[in-house]
Structure formats: structure tokens, C-alpha cells
A and B are shown apart, each in its own frame.
Chain A
Amino acid sequence: MRTAVLFGPPNTGKSTLFNSLTTKHSNAVNYPGSTVDIYMAPLKLHPSLMLIDAPGIQSLVPQSPEEHLALTTITQLNQRIDADHNIPDLIVCIADITQADRHVAMAKRLIDDGYPVILVLTMLDEAIKQGIDIDTKKLSTALGVQVFKCNAKAPECLKELVECMAQSSGPCGRIIQPKNVHIDDMVTAYEWSRATIRQCQVERQRKATVDLDAWLLHPVAGYFIFLLVMGGLFCFLFYVSAPFMDAIDASFSLLGRVVAPWLPNSLQNFVVNGLLSGVAGVMVFVPQIAMLFFGLGIMESSGFLARSAVLIDHPFRKVGLNGRSFVPLLSGCACAVPAILATRVIPNQRVRRLTMAIIPLMQCSARLPVYGLLLSTLFTSSLAKAMALTGIYVISIFISAVVLAVANRWVPSSRNADAPFIIELPKWRWPDFQGLVRDTFRKTSKFLVGAGPIILGISLGLWGMAEIQINNQPLIYILGHFISPIVQPMGVDWRVGVAILLSFAAREVFVSALAIVHHMSSQSLADSVASTHGLFTPASAVGLVLFFMVAMQCGATVVVLKNEMKSLRWPILILVAYICLAYALAVLANMVL
């Protein structure tokens, strides 16, 4: 199969173009370094051509892991995918038209080296605002390749581009061994590009715009706005999602009442009080999780995240991180797995390792159902619950700082410790709300599809364990009493112990497992547990909150950490250290409170 690679600097619209040209979805947001892996899919209009979306690269001299990955897609393609050649059949160089004097340099360098290239100029809307236009015919003559101006959302533009890609791509026989590019070669290309673009540029009328950076990066107002936005995100999370959560809760209660009479007695308890209430325990938090994805999406697509990284760099440096760690850590509030992959944009290996090590301490969306249940046993008013949940995020930041202070002594210095902190600030954009809603739906569905089978599987497993008898005792009871001495110092009994053990598959399983173990709905669990069953005392509930804040339960996180750290030693060390710390905190809370 013939291959074409979308190649170019970060945040030039490669992923947006990839999504428009193929049926696959690559993450397209407004900050540099959103794509950290390669994605591929055949073209919609020309399925015999495979299109590859590579991470952004600033120059042909790579500085970070994801830039190395991007470079290998044009120099060692058959190491990455099952391709016929090392070199792709076509390189579609993407350049932001408003920054063409720097971005076209990469295309120039590749053309000079003999690669088959076509150049696509993007960000046309931004160019209109800035009064910038480029004569593509002149630029095409200067470069000796075809040049397009393309709006990824305009079908006629895409059709013309695909036709050109189909005609231009052919086996590249010109390069046998790609040569290494030195930074001075790039500097020469920049000089050529700057002079050429000056000749090809057409001046148009510039639209008046407000420079938001003057406020957002202001020495005082910048930090104030940053805190206001972050606080606003969490308020948005709690208050906007509350009516939706109540509606889901009521729907599941109604479903349970409707379904119960139709089921045989043997299944009724399991389905209504176990399975349905377990699923409801997780489903009820879906609006909050969706709001989190939506809020983060607004920050990503507007350009706010990159500014936040700049503001936060100085305090982060005090604990051994840098501003580039901010985006992965914030993504960790949604899910640790993509957040760990997002650390590829950090060139300094030491900072990257430290960032990966504390991502599991960020409070991911899967923990929300657990906190929801535990906080219900501690507080009755929704304001108190919201304050407590905000407190959890604040305490987790404090714990992360302490862990970093300790880890700074352990993690060895890296070869590229002197890599400078330099981050490109994307242009401010209005979020595309239609796209944001679509993305939020996709991510929330992915969460549900991922959690659903685990909850169902564990529910069935638990039911089976309750049915299987050994020496006239249910298997679950035997397992529970085996765990009991371990969890007793935390102030909880074997039933909670079983739920904790099962939550190592995925954190949200804790709620459904607990519901099944107790054969009651998760809502009534929250209401009745504190008063009648004595399952949680206030001290043990606080202890469990601390346990879930710190313990790294998710198996997927461990696997991704192992892959990214290229070692099993560090993930195991982190896993054991966090579980021990979490256990110690839970026991301490139970003893002190």
C-alpha cells in the first residue's frame, strides 16, 4: 500500500486535516504537541493511499521523544508500520500560513534532500485576520513542488488536495539512505524561506484584534485569571452536572422497580440490587465526567493551556518539573493513560520521569464515583461535598509536591538536563463548540465502553463467588476473611476489603463491587451505611478517601508506565510506594480521627 505522511511543525492543523481526509479520529486541539503517537488510516476519497499523522516537529533536528518519532516516519517508516519502503511515497508538509517564513523551511530542506513533497498552507482564517496572504504559484515555482492553501472544513479544497496526493505519490527511488540534518542546514533553510516568503507574501488589510496575552500573561492579572478559570472549571463541574446526576439516579431506581417483577427470584437480587445498582453507581457520575472533558476541551481548543503552562513553569521548577508538565498533569484529572503518553512532549528525560511518576496522584475521573460515595457518608449538603471534593484536589497537589521533593533525590539526572524550556504559544481561537460536544461524547462513551465490561465481568464474578460454596461457606466470604486482617487497621471490614481488592482492575469498580457485596443500591448504600450498618465510620471514610487519592489502582496505568519508562522496575516501585503510602495514610486517619 502506498503511504503519505502529514509532516510539519506542531499546531499547524495536521490532525484536523487527518480527521477530514480519513474516517479515523486523531486528537486535534489548540496547543503544540497534542499528537504524540502516529495514527494512520486510508484516505476517504482514495482508499488505496494510507495517510499517516505524525507528531509535530520544530525542525529536522529532533529535540524530544515525540520529535524523534515524527522523524522516523519519514526516515525509517518500515520500522514503524508494515510499509514497502523506508521513505513514504509522499510527504505532505503542513505549514501555518501566518508563520510560513519558518514553517516552509522544513519543506525546503526535505525537497533539497530529494523527498517527494507537496506543501499545504493551513490556518487561512487566522491569515485573513492578520491580513496575510501568499501567492501559491510564486511559492510553488520557488520550491519546485505543488503548493495548496487548504481549509480542512471545505470539501472542494480537500478533493483537490486528495487528487494531487493520489497523482504525486509514487515509490520514491531518489533517496537510498536519508542523511542526518545539522541545525546549521536548518538555519540556511530558514534564511532562504524568510527571503522567499517575503517575495511571495501579499499584504491585505489587517483586522483589529485584542491582544489577550497582555492580560493572560500579565505578571499579576495573569495568575489571578488563571486561578479564576481553574476555580470556575470545578464549580462548573459540580453545579452544572448536579441536575443530570439526579435524573440518572431517578431513572435507574425506576428501571429497578420496573424490571424486578419480571425476573425469577434467584436473579432478582443480583440484577436489581447488585448489577443495576452497581452500574448506576458509576453512571450517575457520567455527567460530571462529561463536564470535566468539556471544560478541559474548552481550555485545550482556546489556547489557554499553553499560557497556563507558561504561568505555572516557575512554581513547577521549584519541585523539579517544568511548565511542559502542566498539560499532562491536568490531563491526568481526566485519565492517567493519555496523560502519561502526553509527557512525550517533555524533552528533559528527568522531568519526564518525575511527571509520569506523579500523574497517578492526579485525581482522574474514575475516582469521582468513589469520592461521591464516600463523601455522601461524611456530608449531607451539596455545598459541603463540593468543598470537600475541591479539598481533595488541593490535598493531592500537596501530596504530589511532597512526593516530588522525595523523588528529586532518587531520580537520576538525564543526559539532556540542560534542555531549555521553550514553548510555542498557539494563536487564541474561539472553541468549535460543535466539535467540542462531539469530542466530549466520544471520550465519555470511551470511558463507559471501557468501564462497562469490567463492571459487568466483576459483577458476574462476584455473584459466582457468592454462589460457589467451599465447606458450606461462600467463596467470597473465605476471600474476604483472608483480606480482613489487612484492611482492619483502616477501620473497615472484609466487605470493603473485597471492593478495594477488585478496584485494582479500575477504580470505579469499588462502588459497584461494594453495592453487589451488600446487595443494595449505591444510593441507599451511601445513606444507610453510616447510620445502620457501621460499614464506614467518619474516620474510616476519610482514610479511604486518602487511600484512593494516593493508591495507584488502575492496571492500565501500570502497563502504560512500563511502556513509556521502558522498564518494569520504576512502575513496580511507584505502584508499591503509592500503595504503602496510601495504606499508611488510611491507617493513620483511622487512628487519629
Chain B
Amino acid sequence: MKTLCELNRNDNAVIKEVTNPLVYDSLCSHGFTVGSLIKIISKLPFKGAITCEINNSRFALRACDAANVVVFD
């Protein structure tokens, strides 16, 4: 198991859980729900934003927020 920020560009994974309750509502609102397939589109340098595709939508989130998303790769 990895977190979202540990995945590389073009990696696919399935969301297992969102660990931080403080960001849970916001991530769920954007469709980051358990069982969703996720693909990494780009990763910006120096722990910059991670862009991912989920349910045909693209989102960018900070590496620190992505670290709260645990995935099966």
C-alpha cells in the first residue's frame, strides 16, 4: 500500500481510504471515495501539486494533502 504522493506519473491505483478526517469531507466532495480508480497525470517538483484523474475528472492537490490518500497500486 502506498499514499497518492508516492505514486509516479501515469501510475494507476485504487483509493483504499482517506486517513486525515480534516480533509476527508473536501476530498470526498471531489469524488475521492473508497474504490475509485485514480491515475497520476503529473507531479510538480519540490513537493508541488500532484495532478490526477479520477472518474474522468482531473484534479490537482498538494503533496501534503495527497499523503492522506492511501491507495492499492
Contact = CB atoms under 8 A, between A and B. Distances in A.
Given A102-B57, A217-B51, A420 B42 contact: no
A421 to B, nearest CB: 5
B62 interface: yes
B22 interface: yes
Interface in B7-27: 22-27
Interface in A397-423: 418-423
A423 B23 CA distance: 14
A553 to B, nearest CB: 36
A489 interface: no
B51 A213 contact: yes
B40 to A, nearest CB: 11
B62 A183 contact: no
B29 to A, nearest CB: 4
A422 B27 contact: yes
Interface stretch (A187-195, A329-337, A371-379, A456-464): A187-195
A191 B33 contact: yes
Contacts of A58: 29-30
Contact of A213 (B28, B42, B46): B42
Contacts of A220: 45
B59 A422 contact: yes
A257 interface: no
B2 interface: no
A53 interface: no
A214 B42 contact: yes
Nearest to B48: A314
B69 to A, nearest CB: 10
Contact of B22 (A219, A418, A424): A418
Nearest to A427: B58
Contacts of A424: 30, 57-59
A190 B10 CA distance: 25
A190 B33 contact: yes
B16 to A, nearest CB: 14
Interface pairs A-B: 9 shortest CB-CB = A59-B29, A420-B65, A217-B42, A425-B58, A310-B60, A58-B29, A314-B48, A420-B23, A418-B22
